Amino acid sequence: MSGCVRILLFGNDSHLLESRQWVFESAGYEVYAATSFLALDHILANHPGSLPIDLMILCHSLSTEECNRARSLALARFPKMEVVILAVHSCVSHTIEGDMVVDTAEGPRTLLENVEDLAIKPMEPEAWAARSSGGSRL
């Protein structure tokens, strides 16, 4: 299942993003990473709607304002995208109801398990229809 799931990582620390990207790619996910709003805009604008980005992971290195802006930009393009907020010791002030929060202190295995749970959760029927027909989830 993970081979068809597309993940967008966004954060300020390029080394953290590289290691997280490697972890997810090793698990079979398709991963895009951005460390600036310019790069994020480029990924979102050039990603085909017929292959939606399924999940956005916002790094703990982002400010509340950066998280809110990145989340808004991504959801404007892919409204059904899941959002995961990474936190240090579960301390985060910028979650929105429905977002998953994952403590970075739990390590990459826990993050991967949480993402896998999101990837295999039942999708809405129209989302399955859109995917199987090659259409957009918008």
DSSP 13: -
Across 40-44, 121-125, 130-134, least confident range: 130-134
Count of the separate structural domains present in the chain: 1
100 pLDDT more than 90: no
Structure tokens, 9:
């990582």
- The pLDDT of residue 90 is 55
Q: What is the pTM of this model?
A: 0.77
Q: Residue 99's domain spans which residues?
A: 2-132
Q: Tell me which residue of 19, 14, 86 sits closest to 56, measured CA to CA.
A: 86
Question: Residues 128-136: what's their mean pLDDT?
Answer: 31
Residue 138 forms part of a structural domain: no
Any idea what the CATH number is for the domain that residue 88 is in? Answer: 3.40.50.2300
More confident residue, 127 or 31: 31
Residue 74 forms part of a structural domain: yes
Structure tokens, 96:
């929105």
124 pLDDT more than 80: no
Interacting residues of 22 by C-beta distance below 8 A, sequence separation 6+: none
